[in-house]
Amino acid sequence: MGGISVWQLLIVVLIVVLLFGTKKLRGMGSDLGSAVKGFKKAMSDDDKESDKNQQDADFKQASLSDKKEQADAFKAKDQEKTKDNDRV
């Protein structure tokens, strides 16, 4: 009752073709297709870049934790030296 039938869709398509012409519709279709391709490419490039940045962040975090361990070891050695100096 409230739906659009096939005949109504065909009439709408016929009116659109008469108003715009097939050349203009073909050009709009190709423009829309290239825009969608560009959008997909940008999204995939962004995903690859974010994965790369996350890997870099993991590497930097690992190197910072290594430096922290080295600093803790260095502090322990300094504390032993100060204890030895206090005993003298």
**CA 50 to CA 55: how far, in whole Å?**
9
Binned at pLDDT 50, 70 and 90, residue 52 comes out as low
Q: What is the pLDDT of residues 14-41, one digit of tens each?
A: 999 999 998 998 999 999 999 999 999 9
Q: Report the pLDDT value the prediction gives residue 86, as an integer from 0 to 100.
A: 61
The dihedral through the CA atoms of 64, 66, 69, 74 has a sign that is: negative
What confidence category does residue 6 fall into, taking pLDDT thresholds of 50, 70 and 90?
very high
pLDDT tens digits along 56-88: 555 555 566 666 777 777 776 676 666 555 655
Phi and psi at residue 66, to the nearest 5°: -65, -40
Helix runs in the chain, H state only: 6-20, 22-87
